[in-house]
Structure 1
């Protein structure tokens, strides 16, 4: 049987290893994709450090990587919609028997030379979009897109805040500008992140430690507050701060993951102003991916600045360490087999 390289996580020991494994064969209704680019996400870091644990994984080891682009290598029986050589972006997950499985978490992902996919869990990648930019759209871009357009239901001219201008938050700023939010206020303790937010389209960038933050937000919103606030940091203190500057009937959307408790310090104020806290995870891939690819292909969005570096698959552990320690303040690191 033909072999391939894959970066695999042994979940009980949280050990990441580059291994030679059998190259998968597409079964009925499946396609085999030759991986051209795979994003490194903070969720991958959390899987390795134990913050996240797969819920649906069959076994103890999984090939990481849920942001994947490539070309069709082979098709299984019954697959007529795809032919070898087509450029594609894989969904970050698949629905099986009504249950959503996450690629690279609950089943093998794209930190490998080849990856399997259900034939209905991928979408064409236009020739005009490079593989590295296409690969990050299934999570780094589509997750904030879903949070903004569906969960947060942001409307034109609404005042919004983005806490955490990292791999997801930086794209949220771009996407909020695309849907007409105004003003867009980015909040991050990192000066580099704040400068990045302004360069990408934020109207204002504030330090979360600034004691005048509430007053500054009030001034920028005419004393009303934020119609929507997005937590991409997954930090309890962020959520309390965001709640303190919400407008009446404002929405706090939780995107960053944490296992820490959520606290509403002033429950009376929260209820009186009829505010909401909304959880968000992922996106509706069949809808979000084509939408975003059209916007990129049409010149409305450009994620070239999001690709901080491209590394060979053999350096997967280094990529994880660089992201975890914020070496060079990367937005997205890409692995290329």
Structure 2
């Protein structure tokens, strides 16, 4: 291997790589040899260090989310790695740089893209849904969407910045616009809810109430700074929320599950004029109930998806400076060949996982 700037960081005779390939029609996948991709103009080839397994990946596997791209695709939309090769026209990046690629590609044609507001692209292509992702030894990414990772941030933690942490960050900071001293509730303390809680604490929310069926998840929430951790089956849940908020209800709530039951409960716990942000997704239909009561309460229901690529840089700085601790976020690491085991661990909820990582280039 060579590591000089501009020299490919791979063996000279490398022409294939190992990758997970999902047939979106049959919903079956295998890990197999595929041609090594080449970066096009404005792109880089990344040697993948780690890539997360997310509930969105499970939704593509089980057909909840429809395929957006080719019939056969490589999954994995949150990743960290090292630049292995530069495409034509790429500047200010070097072979060997430690990076996180954005989990989407702006179309470059819509009105937002024409104004260079790529974070507002109306036809964004999602990595691992519309084009090949990072459950592979190498992946291709647009150079304009890369974030440089500080040396003191581990590649494991860097990988989850691109969705598992950045989506919650954007939900709290951009969509809900949580302010210092506002009360916050989080329904579902898994891969998304855990980080919603941490970001809410970081911006000064108080009190923070975590709600989850799993005792291990509730304990994790308390360990990470929640003021209260409640069981949604508790018949006195509403009374508990009222008590700790002085009878007002919560200023902002986050539904990190996306089911009708969690949505209804979160909406009911919301203060008049408060904001409910839907971060979790499912195929279930949601309702705000009687229109008169909804309007009188002035409650706001906001859908949320994704993040701005610049958010990853903010989070990398927070981790680098010790403001954000992700030491409890990595529950398991599996080799690429064992990716089916990692998927099963997440699907079954074994050990109350926050995030399971794939390590495609494990020694």
User: Shorter-chain TM-score: which interval?
Assistant: over 0.9
Provide, for residues 37-62 of structure 1, a one-character-per-residue CA deviation record: whole Å limited to 9, x for no partner.
Answer: 1111111111111111123x1x2011
Query: For 1:262-301, what aligned pairs fall within 5 Å after superposition?
Result: 262-285=286-309, 287-301=310-324
8 Å CA contact 1:16–1:317 kept in 2: the answer is no
Gaps in structure 2 of 5+ consecutive residues: 1-13, 111-122
Which stretches of structure 1, 4 residues or longer, exceed 6 Å deviation after superposition?
A: none
Counterpart of 1:52 in structure 2 is 65
| Match 2:217 to one of 184, 187, 193 | 193
Q: Match of 1:333? A: 356
Of 244, 247, 251 in structure 2, the residue corresponding to residue 223 of structure 1 is 247
Q: Within 1, Cα distance between the matches of 2:344 and 2:62?
A: 11
Q: 2: CA distance between counterparts of 1:264 and 1:25?
A: 48
2:229 alignment counterpart: 205
C-alpha distance in structure 2 between counterparts of 1:252 and 1:146, whole Å: 14
- Asked if the contact 1:226–1:250 (Cα under 8 Å) also holds between the matched residues in 2, the reply is yes
> SS of the counterpart of 2:213?
coil
Secondary structure at the aligned position of 1:96 is classed as coil
CA distance in 2, matches of 1:82, 1:233: 38
Structure 1 Cα separation of the partners of residues 330 and 96 of structure 2: 24
Alignment of 1:110-149 (within 5 A): 110-149=134-173
CA drift of 1:268 comes to 2.4
Alignment of 1:307 onto 2:330: yes
1:243 is displaced (CA, Å) by 1.1
Residue 6 (structure 1) aligns with: 19
Alpha-carbon shift at residue 264 of structure 1 (Å):
2.0
What does the per-residue CA deviation read over 1:182-223, in whole Å, with 9 as the maximum and x for residues that have no partner? Answer: 000001111111111001110000000110011100000011
Whole-angstrom CA distance in 2 between matches of 1:292 and 1:218: 33
- Kindly state the Cα deviation for residue 133 of structure 1 after the two structures are TM-superposed: 0.6
Aligned-partner Cα distance in 1 for 2:101–2:284: 31
1:180 maps to 204
Contact 2:210 2:226 in 1 (8 A): yes
Q: How many correspondences in the alignment?
A: 334
In structure 1, C-alpha distance between the alignment counterparts of 2:269 and 2:89, rounded to whole Å: 54
**Quick one: which of 260, 266, 282 aligns to 1:236?**
260
Whole-angstrom distance in 2 between the partners of 1:144 and 1:31: 27
Give the CA deviation at 1:168.
0.5
Paired residue for 1:35?
A: 48
1:321 aligns with 2:332: no
Alignment match, 1:155: 179
Distance 2:321 2:53 in 1: 26
Paired residue for 2:11?
Answer: none
Structure 1 contact 254–278 (Cα < 8 Å) conserved: yes
Cα shift at 1:269: 2.3
- Where structure 1 has 5 or more consecutive residues not aligned to the other structure, the ranges are none
Deviating more after overlay: 254-263 vs 9-18: 254-263
Check the 8 A contact 1:72/1:86 in 2, yes or no.
yes
Q: In the aligned structure 2, how far is the partner of 1:267 from the partner of 1:220?
A: 28
Query: TM-score, normalization: structure 2?
Result: 0.90
The alignment's TM-score, normalised by the length of structure 1, stands at 0.97
The answer as to whether partners of 2:259 and 2:286 remain within 8 angstroms in 1 is: no
The answer to whether the Cα contact below 8 Å between 2:101 and 2:142 also exists between their aligned partners in 1 is no
